[in-house]
Amino acid sequence: MRHVGVGHGIDAAPEMIEVARRKAARAGTDVAFQVGLIENIPFPNDQFDVALCSFMIFHMPDDARRKGITEIYRVLKSGGQLLVVDLASPPQPVRWNLTTFVFGCLMQHDFRELVPMMEQAGFTQIKVGQTRFKSVSFVRGRTRKVKGGQG
């Protein structure tokens, strides 16, 4: 994947920031990482075209998740896109039972529960789907801001 400019990443855990920095250095990517919380993203409004939440949104309390989605909307530009990727149990009963047994609560997420939160924050064109890796699902949505403010 190619991008223009510097990417930015935040994580609440300083040790994860160090892991991310090492990975970015090995990949030769220009990403600035800093400690930060999804509930209070340390960037001004309308700064980014894309936000990615990978393997973390379901590992926080519901109120933090809701506030975080609102914060992501705030820092995305008009037409910006949020992509959330995480483990999810497959819908087939046999596979669901097997993955739940093997992975426990790590895979008991229903991405559809994010849709109302995203709609409330202002996201549109929301889609829930599954990646080609059957145990990894996603939800994505776009911002629809009017010039001169959120809306």
Cβ atoms of residues 74 and 42 within 8 Å: no
The residue whose two tokens read 């896109």 is: 81
What pTM does this model have? 0.83
Task: Say whether both 97 and 32 belong to one domain.
Answer: no
77 phi and psi, to 5 degrees?
A: -75, 165
Q: Does residue 31 lie in a domain region?
A: yes
Cβ atoms of residues 122 and 143 within 8 Å: yes
Q: Cα separation of 20 and 31, whole Å?
A: 9
The confidence score (pLDDT) of residue 26 equals: 95
Task: Say whether both 31 and 48 belong to one domain.
Answer: no
Q: Does residue 149 lie in a domain region?
A: no
Task: Say whether both 131 and 87 belong to one domain.
Answer: yes
Task: Say whether both 28 and 51 belong to one domain.
Answer: no
The domain in which residue 120 lies consists of 43-142
Q: How many structural domains compose the chain?
A: 2
> What digits encode the pLDDT tens for the residues 44-56?
999 999 999 998 8
Q: Does residue 18 lie in a domain region?
A: yes
